[in-house]
Structure formats: C-alpha cells, structure tokens
Structure 1
Amino acid sequence: MISKEDFTKLHLEISPYIHRTPVLSSGLLNKLAETEIFFKCENFQKMGAFKMRGATAAILALNDKERAKGVVTHSSGNFAQAVSLSAKSLGILAYIVMPSSAPQVKKDAVKTYGGEITECEPNIKAREKAAEEIQQETGASFLHPSNQLEVIYGQGTAAIELLEEKPDLDIIITPVGGGGLIAGTALAANYFGNNCKTIGAEPFEVDDAYRSLKSGKIETNSSTNTIADGLKTQLGDKNFPIIQKFVSEIIRVEEDEIINAMKLIWERMKIVIEPSSAVAFAAVLREKEKFRGKKVGIIISGGNVDLSNLPF
C-alpha cells in the first residue's frame, strides 16, 4: 500500500495535468441537510470528472516503451474521456471500449479528446473481451477504470486537496461504482485527515458494494436499472480490501432521492452535476441524524450530463 510520502509525491506529479478544483458550500443546502457540507467540485475537473486524476497517474507510471504502444481501457464514459485526454496531453494513443448504451455526450467527448472508440454490448464481459482483443493486437497497456492501484491513488488526490482546505472534516462521502474513488478517498482520509471517516453512497438498484461489505466478498448486481449510469460497475480485488479496511459504511438511496438531490444542487448552487454525483448528497439527506452537527465533505464526482435527457 502507498505511503503517505509517496501519496504526496504522486499528487505533485499529476498536478501539472489536472485542475485543483474548488470547494464550495451552500447555506441553503446546509440548512436543509441540518449539517455543514463542503462540496469538492470535480465536475470542474478537466474532462468534467475526478477520473482525470487516476488516468493521469496510471499513464505517468508507464515507461517510455509502454507509452509508445498506447493505452486501452473500457468505460461507460468518464474514465474513457479521462484516458483519452490524458493520453492526448502526453502524446500517446488511446483505445477506448465503450458500451453501446453509454450516453452520446460521453462518446462525443471521447472522440473530441482523440480516443479511438470500439463499441460493445452493455455488460462487463463484453467490455473486458473487447479490451483484451485490442490489447493483444496493439500491445497497448490496459488501464482499469477503478481496480488498478495507480488509478486508485490518483483518485484519492481529490480528498487530499479537500482535506488541505478543510482539515477538520469529520466525514467524507463519495458515490460508489467500481470502487476506485472511495478506496482512494478512504486512504487519503486515513493519512491526511484527523479521525476523518469515509462513507460510501450507492443506489438501491445497484447495491453490490453495500452487500459486499456485509458478506465479506465481492458481490454482483442482477440488474442495473439506475439513473446513476456511472455506478453500474462492481468492486475489484485491488480496491475491495482497501474499502473493507478503511470505509465505515455504505448508505443506499432510492432513485427519486438521487433525482431530488441532483435537482437541488442544480437549483441552489447553480452547478451542473451528473446523477452519480448526486448519490452522496442524497445519502446525507436520507440519514440526517447520522450527520447532524458534523463537518461533512462530499466529492462531487462529475458533471458530464446528457442535457437532452435530464431527469427533471
């Protein structure tokens, strides 16, 4: 596991390639939630999501010979964009496998950033198979969206920045999809926080992480019927042990609660966030008693929304 010193060094290494995103708050939302919330706005990150951090960290970890052959990943959208832009910034090729069901806005963004898209059926097996075939054909290095240590550590740098600005946070909450963000956040909270807990939030419709913590093994979802399209993936063997050790709990929320939280942030804070990002705020609104009187950090994971298909 990464040391605190190496975590700090990694943050410095990726800093020239990412934005240091703002930390915002809202008196109205604090009053509504009955607590004090600080939003780390990764919707203002390059390509619109926190995944720029992990993608950059993973590519910088490759040697010159590996970079010359490019990189390949599979993603429903945000990591696809992150790898495409990171690769473009560093002058290498990016091969991107995307499910056919991915939002068109995210496919368009990948093309804009120079990523070469291969579409596949919308399931994990199809994504992995297509990425493996590209890897064999090209020799490109595979980058996992959430289950690769360099990616996990890169994602954790958002929490490092949040804690640098708000060192007295009691809790940091993140949405949970593939587990990379919450694992990196939990490590950062452990190293850089002052008894700061990490809590996850996910939809009832895809509550595999919640069930995984309960059962002690990685669970899967039989359905992916959620508006939070970025949270349909499952945990991996690299991030799950970190989550088991450092994440306090995972709170589940209903679909209407996600939509309500998303709408509130749009209306009250005048910032654009995607449904997956709203899950963390929805968890605070759902369980106010748990957070009352605490200082709460929320990672707004991204703002890549299909504006022609809003839920409100």
Structure 2
Amino acid sequence: MENFDYNLVKVFCSLFDTENLTETARILNISQPAVSQSLKKLRNIYDDDLFVRTSGNMKPTIFSRKIIDNLKKSIELIELSLNQKGYNDNLFYKKNYNIVMSDLAQSFFIPPLCLLLDEANLNIDINILQVNQLEMEVKMREGKIDFAIGNFPALKDNINLISENLFQDCFVLMIRDGHPLIKSDGDFNNYNLLSLIGVDNNITGHSEVVNKILNKLGCKNKMNIPYYSAAPDIVEKTDYGVIMPSFIAKKYNFHNTFKIFPILIKENLIEVDVIYHKLFKNEKSTLTLRDMLVNNFRNR
C-alpha cells in the first residue's frame, strides 16, 4: 500500500460523485490523463474495476459502493486535522464565488455576510448574480454558480442539488400610514378596493405564492415592476399597496412609515434555502462557505 495516497482518495470520491473523468479533472484542477492514471493505480490496489463505463458515464461497481463511505470519511478526518483554526486555512483555495440572490435576499444577507467574511479573515471575492431558476442547475453543474440563496421552489426537488432550509417566512400587506382604506380601529380587509403593486420576475418563487394569495383574496395587481426595491417609495407616496415578505417589510418600516398587515391563508409560506450542487458537496471551499451560511442564518 506504499503507493496509496490522499490524492488517490480524492480522485476516487470525486469520480464516485460525478461519474465522469472530465468533470473530476475539472473539480480537482488536474488533467484528465492524471485522473485516468489515478484510476489505474486504484484498480491495481483494490484488484477491482471500481468504475465501469456505461452510456457515457463511469458507474461505480458494487465494491466501490462498499468502500465509498469510509474513503469519504477519511478525507473529512484528514482535512479536519489540517484545519484546526476554523474557517481560515490553506485548504481554502477558491477565491471567487458566484451566488444567486434576489434583490430582497441581497438586502438581508449581504451586510451580515460581509461582517462574517471579515471576521473569518477570508480573502475571497463574491459576485452576486440574478439567474432564471430554470437555468440554475446546469450553471451549478458547470461550476458557474456556487450557491443560490432564497426562495427557489423550482429547485427544491431537483435530485442533483442539495437544498438546506435556513428559515421560513410569510407574505404581508404593506401600505402607507394614514391610508384611507385603513379602518378607524386600525384594521384592514378591503383588498378588493386596494390598488396593488406586483413584483414579477423569474428569479425566485415569490410570484407563484403571491398569485395564490391574490386568488384567495379575490384581487389582482394593478401595476407590475421587476424588483421589490422600488416598492417602498411607491407605497409611501401613493395609495398603492404591496404584498411582500415579512422580514423585508419590517426592515423597510424602520421609521414606522408604513402599516403592515398579516395575510392569514394556508398558502402563505416562503421557504428560504441555501442550495448548491451535489458534485461539489465534499469540496472544502464549498463546505466552508456552506457552514458559514447555515450556522449564521438558520432560524435567524
């Protein structure tokens, strides 16, 4: 076993996850011939084919399935032994991250995330993107997107992605203080008389949930805009209202400019998740940022 080393274990585990020599080479930043040579060494060591080419993929053998858990655990233990200082270590080689967020998610996550990155002394760059949900899985598989943070129902059940819930929220109605439709007792239920602003884009799943709410309330949007960020100014200066996530409505209402009303219907639920591709679930750089997000934003 003198020729058995840590790099062979990484090749085996990555090939098990990707079932593809080219993808394994890309992930490990080595050449495809180097992956093939490592596989040859592994086959000699274990006296087993380990992976068999089927329909263009490298399918693991029964023996490979038996040993994968122990080999993955060995990687975790080795990296843990090299990483006794927490987030900041030499294994954190990735320098640029692409993260998909809506404008609302940006206003909520980015300020505290900046503080966390500074505290951990991580010298990395983050690019925030806005991408159609239907394009995300492919871009994640290609390594063009590292994480998506927010409400993405179209990705929730994708078997190639890992989706971890951070917290749940709900939609509320936000109108200006002093709005003529607010009752004398401070209550509100005149949705059929209210002009609503709708926010319609294909980045998050908000539109889908809001449309269900509108159907239940028997009303519709009178004006549609692409982003929530413009809504507070419109609502403050007009008699329009907007249905938006509760945590953002509270943020905008810091100076008590608005009145916020709950919407008590069953369909009113927002799942806020962090999502990443299974291909990269064992990469140190993925795990480091994933842990930072989950540990600091879950149930926040």
The TM tier, using the shorter chain, reads under 0.3
Larger radius of gyration: 2
More helix by share: 1
More strand by share: 2
What TM-score comes out, normalization by structure 1 length?
Answer: 0.24
What TM-score comes out, normalization by structure 2 length?
Answer: 0.24
